[in-house]
Structure 1
Amino acid sequence: MTISRFLYLFVFISGITLSAQENPEKFNVDFESFTLKNGLNVILHVDKSDPVVAVALTAHVGSAREKEGRTGFAHLFEHLLFLESENLGKGGLDKMSARIGGSGANGSTSRDRTNYFQTVPNDALEKMIWAEADKLGYFINTVTEPVLAKEKEVVKNEKRQRVDNAPYGHTMYVIDKNLYPEGHPYNWEVIGSLEDLQNATLQDVKDFYNRWYVPNNVTLTIAGDFDKAQAKEWVHKYFDEIPSGEEIKRQEKQPVSLEETKKLYYEDNFANLAELTMAWPTVYSYAEDSYALDLLTTYLSEGKNAPLYQSLVEDKQLTGRVSMYNYTSELAGQLMLQVTAYDGKDLDSVKAAIEETFAEFEKEGIPQKDLKRIKAGQETNFYNSISSVLGKGFQLAQYKIFANDPNYINKEVDKILAVTAEDVMRVYEKYIKDKPFVATSFVPKGQVELALENSEEAEVVEEKIVEGAEGNFDLNADVAYEKTPSSFDRSVEPPYGEKPELIEPEIWKTNLPSGLKILGISNTEVPLVKFSLEMPGGLLLENENKVGVSNLLAEIMTKGTANKTPRELEEAIELLGSDIRVNAGDEKITLSGSTLAKNYDQTIALVKEILLEPRWDEEEFKLAKQQVLSRIQQMKADPNSIASNEFRKVIYGKDNILSHNNLGTKTSVENIRLQDLKDYYSNNLSPLSASFLVVGALDQEEAVAPIKGLAANWQVKNVEIPDLPQPEMPEQSQVYFYDVPGAKQSIFRFGTPALAANDEDFYPAEVMNYRLGGGSFASQLTQELREGKGYTYGIRSGFYGDKNTGPFMISTGVRSNITGDAAKLIQDILQKYPESFNRNDLEVTKGYMIKSNARKFETLNSKLDMLSDISNYGLDNDFIKQREEMVENMTLQQIKELAEKYVDPDRMYYVIVGDAETQLEKLKDLGYGEPILLNPEEE
């Protein structure tokens, strides 16, 4: 429930240091904590496993510290603090990140805190400390009226993307308005209202900063490979002279209660299915009851053994999924239950099924075996959540701020394991049983009859898109300001430290008699193992009249085996604290998972059973089919899904199997029978063409031994992968438009057929694209459309090939009323890029592409991805070193030639999803003729 600066979600995964690797129960994170005289909290954690360091600055301010009528300030600041500071200059940390090979400066805002974080090669630590200090003490003077006006537009675009232009986007607004009384700090959303953002003055912004962005309200965490004494010296140098602010007291806890149940409905322009959300008041973060509530929600809703799943999904077939979780914050909490019903299902029937399930739970309680399996999964999830240096740094700050004890990181597992069955029933009776709640019914337009009975219409503020409504701003205007004095010249960027040594992990390989290839990396930092069995095929081997077979096969492969019911299989996996999943893609089916190293053999035994002894359960097949059909129905109303699906069609053409989404269509999925899945399985899954990849705390012999048994019993067969016609660039560009009436944004997918991933030009083209749209805030597309114009929340470009030719694609969402202007600006950037790319661009690109390699091997997932690339594309073990050398030798002329060849705006498809009534006509100005309307006839 945080608002992030970027389009993607940030996931913390990597190596972890345990005090006793053979005994995870003795888990311990060593750290040192101290406080500067000005009140800044500092936490240091040393982890020498990789030559990287993570730096995070966490301010104890979120939307809960705002005032009504001035909401959204905390999140607005998350954006502003990346733009400029007195000593880093324009571009601020974003500009520096590109040079130093950082992961990209990122941040997020919640109700109660705002954080700023990045992982960098460890030679850049002093630079990061210098930059973070500039945010805290030498920033606010750089915020001018034009800067504020532009960033307001960016944040408003973010709100449109996340809320106004998304199915069910207003749900949390309605829930929180009715769960928390007026005046409660959780009554409004983190992102705030568009009206409040528009009304914010420069003085409002400065007052907010001066009140909350002071050392005595901030925690600095540094985690990774660094010298602790040297880091302390730098922290004192750059932070000591920043003055503390007014005293800031901890807010009192403010739990809420409801006098009566509230039921509300809303007709959602972007929803094709009715969705019920229920919310009960609960407890704040780290309260004793929070752990039992977490276990309660997991037991009731997650997996085949969950009572709500059994009732709503299997028995009554009202939905394909039930989501239930305990959402806690610093001052209060709420338990959420959410169900997206199948097409035409009345939400009263959903609510009745929920109530029946609760009544059964009251009689039965939670069985001990379920208590045990859920705890095993929660413990593993905890280790994964803090398994990168950034993850640990982030959590240390979280515990310091909200639990008032960073050492809580070493107590959390004990809290999880201490929950009893009696605790689970007690919290159910205390917070859920017969207690009032807030219920929202979000229904498709014109289907109010699906809402809960006696619901009142919810009040939702809908933005009206008005042509030319936004104000103008000039970011190039010279604005003078007085610099904040310092005892030394802070404008001098600190030097790099000693260059980090890139140590490539040792890769071992073996081939089994069945033809199965095994590649692995032994890594003993953590008692975890991650693995992946990749089997070529996927969508490539499907009949175009029955697209969706491989996806449905993947869905049911983990739904039981010949010897285990679906529930028994799930229980066996979870009791090990393991995870096994199967996914079908365009060119392969992948069976992957993770486990504690000590349970690897038992986990692979289950993998063998899943792969070689399928259950072919007719009921599970019917459920999976129904769930897929529901997803397809939902996608038809989601502008981003529509854009991606339509782009595939124009890139590959109707005769290429890759033009299809691998879920299939309503017609194709309805035509699929269980026998189709059996035929696909029998004909296309073979060890002869498969690869098993494994990374973790095992040596080669330990990793290979259980796989031998699997491969020896797996029938060998030749699998013919068809040679597809490869798409080619169009001779001239064409604009395609898909009409979503009333859309608040226009979604762009611009691009052209380009390269396969094993083409010799593929990686050089990725290097070329870094400054165009692959480098986030270092890219021209971001700088001009977001930072220069405020047209979008985010934009990126990239090459997406596999073994077959894939597209070069630009993707973004822009505010609806500048659709034509934004498309024209992208066109202009592409036309100029080959000539505008200069020597400075080349040096920045080389610096990033080479220096960022220090982060290539930090996580188990990154190591697994590296093995996948080696296996799939025939790369050498040292391909990263080879690429470094290639980048070092790239010339300006090579970049220009690659840009001219692969990003020609006059040989592209421009796919736009938006409001045709107001935007379609303007697109003729691109010069590519009459736009083609894509909206299909209903199936």
Structure 2
Amino acid sequence: MFQKVKLVLCGWAVLALSLPINAQKTGSALKPVEKVARKGSELVIPYEKYVLPNGLTLVVHEDHSDPIVHVDVTYHVGSAREEVGKSGFAHFFEHMMFQGSDHVADEEHFKIVTNAGGTLNGSTNKDRTNYYETIPSNQLETALWLEADRMGFLLDVVTQKKFEIQRSTVKNERGQNYDNRPYGLVGETTARTLYPYGHPYSWLTIGYIEDLNRVNVDDLKNFFLRWYGPNNATVTVGGDVNPKDVVKMVEKYFGSIPRGPEVKNRKLAAVTLPQDRYVSYEDNVRFPLLQMVFPTVPNRHPDEAPLDCLAEILGGGKNSILYKNLIKEQKAVQADASHPASELAGEFTLRVLPFPGQTLADMEKMVRASLQEFEKTGVTDDAITRFKAKYESDIINSLESVAGKVSQLAANQTYTGSPNYLPTDYKVHMAVTKADVMRVYNQYIKNKHAVILSVVPKGQAQAVAKPDNFKPTTDGYKAPADQYAGLKYVKPKDNFDRSQRPGAGKNPVVTVPPFYRDNLPNGIKIIGTENKEVPMVTLLFSMQGGHKLSAKDPSRAGIASLMAAMLNESTEKYTAEDINSQLEKLGSSISVSGGTEAINVTVESQVKNLDATLALLEERLLRPRFDPVDFERLKKQRLEAIANQATQPTVIADNVYNKLLYGEGNILAVPAIGTAATVNTITLEDIKNFYRENFSPSVTNLVIVGDIKQQDIKPKLAFLEKWTAKPVTMPVLPPMPSGDKSKIYLVDKEKAAQSEIRIGYLALPYDATGEYYKSGLMNYILGGNFNSRINLNLREAKGYTYGARSGFSGTELVGPFTAQAGVRANVSDSAVVEFLKEIKTFRSEGIHDDELAFLKSSVGQRDALKYETPYQKAVFLNNIIKYNLDADFVKKQNEILQNITKEEINTLAKKNLPLEKMNIMLVGDKALIKPGLEKLGYEVVELDTEGNQVKQTATPTAPVTPATPAPAEKNKKAPAKPRKSMPEIRTS
């Protein structure tokens, strides 16, 4: 069989060689079955594709722009391959794959990659599981050795103890990301209502607790044997590599792994609903939620792109119908539409969070009226243009990093059999017409039935849109044939010693991006660098002061953030809708945000549209309208967001912790968003005055990163010289409290499944080469990486948490040292004991020789990963200009790192880990956790959700170490989102 690829994309030719798809070894290496090369500026990712005799697919992308490599191993198995009653296997096994293999000890996978200066993780979704590393290019062979070892040599080291630890970790993850999170069960409730019983998408990737409790270690081993064969995997390598070298390494390490059982792609009949299905549940939320989900089509179906466009028109931004009818009219805090599509099905989703005073029944009527309005108004040419421009920019942005390009190649190969699906996908989206959008609306939405979910605050069951009319049933379900009988574990046979870890090649030469500086007459300081990898330009403006300026009038705290929000609205020349429409047609973005120390303006534009984007930036920066209607709406939204924070344990913990650190009367003790009392006092005239007095070029830094030279962009920024400078005085903040002794502070969050822990004190101001930097090195071993003492104890050994960490976070003035985690409620006291034990032990006993070597190796090789993307470059340059750093500060940091001694580390630990003066704060269920905390020997002070003291309880003086409960599991990122995920439910 031959495979031929020849595509023409908007005049860009994409050429591929025609070669036998089953080409095998010629001499000592495989020959490519497919090659794709870029000509000029084509929107294509060059690669070579190989297929090993055991069925493993290898895709190699060569890119020498940075001395890094990204390795991705994708297995075509996700939760959709699981069985009824055994949900969560795919994700559970992702955890197990980090627990060692025959030639890699427990926790060594993380340690080896981190020691090499790399990062790693894994993710699981409905349809695939992937594992990946980004590493300096000299560490490629090590990454491939690690991945091959767990593909071919895993099961003998899967022990019952590891199994139990990871089972507990998955439960912690479920608690943190689903059960204890506002609206966390929306997806699970929707899935079991939308899909018939037994459908592969009728449960979530995380699985059900009862299934996790039921599973045994042999079930998990069978899952591996069935789905983790090389013939169900794609290895994708991209970056600073030679394809011939990659092929030899992959042949060596993966070639002897036996094929697994055959895996076939599936197609399922489209889901249809005989009637609208109303379901509901109560949650610990302030805003009720209405969600309508219509079943649609899978990924890469011809109707997917027009449905995506329909979602943008209905609820994709300030020009959408839902925004106009619900948000603009102050009926809803949030209203959006999306069309996440997976391999077997898609879900067209409409979602609304109403303002208090509006019912979910009202929201349903308004959403349905908005759909009828769309039927009458139809699709405009502008809407199609906006959709296509946004899609193009999103695609270009996704290719900024080698990881982004590798992920694209890996996903396309896994789902389509060709890595080169990007041009096809692009072409399909660029071909969408108005008629296509109306056709899919009529086919999938108009007069069709949906799942209509109501999420209501606890105790308000009567507030649902309509009473529930559906319960899942097993009617029509037929169990599939057993796929797990007779599976055998056969280890590879090699002619080399796999226990010998590959040596690293020569360390790559890492250069800090060359940059230029400039100053405008009105005081703007400019720093920039040319970046030719993608045809984009990023500008980052930073106006110093931000929330700190509220110290001049604390009664109006939150004004900087609210003023920044107003700058995203109407200008003298354009309405907010007009300016957003123009930006979307350009594929550009301009966003203004208010932070603690600065007001930031971020601009992204394709080079070809930069002039038009900067013209809109001039409007937004220099000619805001400050419309009273916009102000009223934003202020109302802000007050609701502040009230909503009382439902979120993590936000409560951060806010109360800051109040403990900075003390009453310090503006830094007040959230940047403000409080209900302070925001209520802010008037529109206050906003105008704040803009006139503080929004000034005299305190503005500008970072420029993009595919444009300094001499070419400078004339385009001439409009900034029209910006009149004014003196801005930074307020002097009151002295920070030093703390006399450690106390436990407890905020009651009734019935919380988890407790949020914060332990720390006000430590050090930022400096790049002094005590702050060195203390960061000291903390790296304590709580600054996955293999840190804190995380290995609380997550891996004890199973209390999904992840625990510590760190210094300095600013120009001062910043805290914080150790933190979200832990199971029933181990809250034990978790505090373990945190304190690790800090005390590190302070008293210091760092070990092997830990010092690990620190120097890991941090010393990370530079290769620091400056790859435009955003990374912008952050790097922003720090240089913000803190007035020397051009060679990175070199100085490396010298400090390589010369730092155990004695210096230990001295820093003794000085900067003052355990006797740290605040110990918990947000959790008082009734459950207070008795254990009172046994620890500290004074326990009860606070409300705003940090005000409720009452104080004396406690025993002799600390008692609680018994250690049973274990749980590992820290990794949350599962990767689908290619098009639903918008996040914004709750603050």
Interval containing the TM-score (normalised by the shorter chain):
over 0.9
- Residue 377 of structure 1 is matched in structure 2 by 390
Q: Is the 8 A contact 2:136 2:865 kept in 1?
A: yes
Moved more, 755-764 or 827-836: 755-764
1:341 aligns with 2:354: yes
Quote the Cα distance in structure 2 between the aligned partners of 1:812 and 1:491: 36
Q: Unpaired runs of 5+ in structure 1? A: 1-16, 461-480
Q: Where does 1:310-389 land on structure 2 (aligned, <5 Å)?
A: 310-315=324-329, 317-389=330-402
- Which whole-Å deviations, capped at 9, do the CAs of 1:448-475 have from their partners, x for residues lacking one? 2321023359899xxxxxxxxxxxxxxx
1:614 to 617, 624, 627: 624
Moved more, 287-296 or 49-58: 287-296
- Which whole-Å deviations, capped at 9, do the CAs of 1:169-196 have from their partners, x for residues lacking one? 1111110111000011111111001111
Deviation, 1:200, is: 1.1
1:294 to 308, 314, 319: 308
- Residue 173 of structure 1 is matched in structure 2 by 188
- Which whole-Å deviations, capped at 9, do the CAs of 1:7-29 have from their partners, x for residues lacking one? xxxxxxxxxx99466x5xx3121
Deviation, 1:271, is: 0.6
- Residue 925 of structure 2 is matched in structure 1 by 915
Deviation, 1:877, is: 1.9
Quote the Cα distance in structure 1 between the aligned partners of 2:37 and 2:324: 38
1:496 aligns with 2:511: no
1:281 aligns with 2:291: no
- Which whole-Å deviations, capped at 9, do the CAs of 1:753-795 have from their partners, x for residues lacking one? 01111373111111111111111x2211111111111110011
- Residue 271 of structure 1 is matched in structure 2 by 285
Quote the Cα distance in structure 2 between the aligned partners of 1:671 and 1:725: 23
Quote the Cα distance in structure 2 between the aligned partners of 1:801 and 1:580: 28
- Which whole-Å deviations, capped at 9, do the CAs of 1:377-411 have from their partners, x for residues lacking one? 11101111232111111111111111222110222
1:119 to 126, 129, 134: 134
Quote the Cα distance in structure 1 between the aligned partners of 2:461 and 2:152: 53
Q: Is the 8 A contact 2:56 2:235 kept in 1?
A: yes
1:863 aligns with 2:873: yes
Amino acid aligned to 1:702 = D
Quote the Cα distance in structure 2 between the aligned partners of 1:214 and 1:903: 48
Distance 1:903 1:126, change over 3 A: same
Moved more, 787-796 or 872-881: 872-881
Quote the Cα distance in structure 1 between the aligned partners of 2:441 and 2:413: 29
Quote the Cα distance in structure 1 between the aligned partners of 2:312 and 2:584: 12
Moved more, 425-434 or 920-929: 920-929
Distance 1:458 1:724, change over 3 A: farther
2:61 to 20, 28, 45: 45
Quote the Cα distance in structure 2 between the aligned partners of 1:429 and 1:195: 41
Quote the Cα distance in structure 2 between the aligned partners of 1:817 and 1:43: 47
Quote the Cα distance in structure 2 between the aligned partners of 1:590 and 1:704: 20
- Residue 412 of structure 1 is matched in structure 2 by 425
Q: Is the 8 A contact 2:513 2:867 kept in 1?
A: yes
Amino acid aligned to 2:263 = I
Q: Unpaired runs of 5+ in structure 2? A: 1-35, 474-488, 951-988
Deviation, 1:484, is: 6.5
Amino acid aligned to 1:433 = K
Amino acid aligned to 1:264 = V
Partner-residue secondary structure (3-state), 1:197:
helix
Q: Is the 8 A contact 1:255 1:333 kept in 2?
A: no
Quote the Cα distance in structure 2 between the aligned partners of 1:96 and 1:886: 23
Q: Where does 1:559-638 land on structure 2 (aligned, <5 Å)?
A: 559-638=569-648
1:753 aligns with 2:762: yes
Partner-residue secondary structure (3-state), 2:356:
coil
Quote the Cα distance in structure 2 between the aligned partners of 1:457 and 1:180: 12
- Which whole-Å deviations, capped at 9, do the CAs of 1:705-734 have from their partners, x for residues lacking one? 222321x21111111011213424422111
Q: Is the 8 A contact 1:923 1:931 kept in 2?
A: no
Distance 1:51 1:819, change over 3 A: same
The RMSD of aligned alpha carbons is 1.9
Deviation, 1:924, is: 2.2
Distance 1:938 1:918, change over 3 A: closer
Quote the Cα distance in structure 2 between the aligned partners of 1:621 and 1:455: 38
Partner-residue secondary structure (3-state), 1:323:
strand
- Residue 308 of structure 1 is matched in structure 2 by 322
Quote the Cα distance in structure 1 between the aligned partners of 2:860 and 2:269: 50
- Residue 796 of structure 1 is matched in structure 2 by 805
Quote the Cα distance in structure 2 between the aligned partners of 1:938 and 1:338: 38
TM-score with structure 2 setting the length: 0.89
Q: Where does 1:538-557 land on structure 2 (aligned, <5 Å)?
A: 538-542=546-550, 543-557=553-567
Distance 1:749 1:557, change over 3 A: same
The count of residues paired between Structure 1 and Structure 2 equals 895
- Residue 132 of structure 1 is matched in structure 2 by 147
1:161 aligns with 2:171: no
Deviation, 1:799, is: 1.4
Quote the Cα distance in structure 2 between the aligned partners of 1:296 and 1:18: 34
- Residue 118 of structure 2 is matched in structure 1 by 102
1:825 aligns with 2:841: no
Q: Is the 8 A contact 1:302 1:322 kept in 2?
A: no
Deviation, 1:800, is: 1.6
- Residue 779 of structure 1 is matched in structure 2 by 788
Q: Is the 8 A contact 1:830 1:904 kept in 2?
A: no
Q: Is the 8 A contact 1:141 1:482 kept in 2?
A: no
- Residue 14 of structure 2 is matched in structure 1 by none
Q: Where does 1:698-717 land on structure 2 (aligned, <5 Å)?
A: 698-710=708-720, 712-717=721-726
Partner-residue secondary structure (3-state), 1:534:
strand
Quote the Cα distance in structure 1 between the aligned partners of 2:144 and 2:513: 29
Moved more, 110-119 or 698-707: 698-707
Distance 1:675 1:569, change over 3 A: same
- Residue 470 of structure 1 is matched in structure 2 by none
Distance 1:88 1:729, change over 3 A: farther
Q: Is the 8 A contact 2:117 2:860 kept in 1?
A: yes
Q: Is the 8 A contact 2:315 2:321 kept in 1?
A: yes
Deviation, 1:345, is: 2.2
- Residue 657 of structure 1 is matched in structure 2 by 667
- Residue 473 of structure 1 is matched in structure 2 by none
Amino acid aligned to 2:764 = L
- Residue 735 of structure 1 is matched in structure 2 by 744
Quote the Cα distance in structure 2 between the aligned partners of 1:753 and 1:482: 56
Quote the Cα distance in structure 2 between the aligned partners of 1:801 and 1:416: 45
Quote the Cα distance in structure 1 between the aligned partners of 2:162 and 2:548: 49
Q: Is the 8 A contact 1:797 1:810 kept in 2?
A: yes
Partner-residue secondary structure (3-state), 2:819:
strand
Quote the Cα distance in structure 2 between the aligned partners of 1:525 and 1:97: 26
Q: Is the 8 A contact 1:920 1:931 kept in 2?
A: no
TM-score with structure 1 setting the length: 0.93
Partner-residue secondary structure (3-state), 1:932:
strand
Q: Is the 8 A contact 2:113 2:143 kept in 1?
A: no
- Residue 248 of structure 2 is matched in structure 1 by 233
Q: Is the 8 A contact 1:750 1:909 kept in 2?
A: yes
Q: Is the 8 A contact 2:548 2:597 kept in 1?
A: yes
Quote the Cα distance in structure 2 between the aligned partners of 1:890 and 1:457: 65
Quote the Cα distance in structure 1 between the aligned partners of 2:636 and 2:455: 21
Q: Is the 8 A contact 1:265 1:457 kept in 2?
A: no
Partner-residue secondary structure (3-state), 2:540:
strand
Moved more, 208-217 or 568-577: 568-577
- Residue 32 of structure 1 is matched in structure 2 by 48
1:246 aligns with 2:261: yes
- Residue 223 of structure 2 is matched in structure 1 by 208
Distance 1:20 1:370, change over 3 A: farther
Q: Is the 8 A contact 1:344 1:450 kept in 2?
A: no
Deviation, 1:896, is: 1.1
Quote the Cα distance in structure 2 between the aligned partners of 1:812 and 1:345: 36
Q: Is the 8 A contact 1:694 1:703 kept in 2?
A: no
Q: Where does 1:61-80 land on structure 2 (aligned, <5 Å)?
A: 61-80=77-96
Amino acid aligned to 1:772 = L
2:452 to 439, 454, 475: 439
Deviation, 1:483, is: 8.1
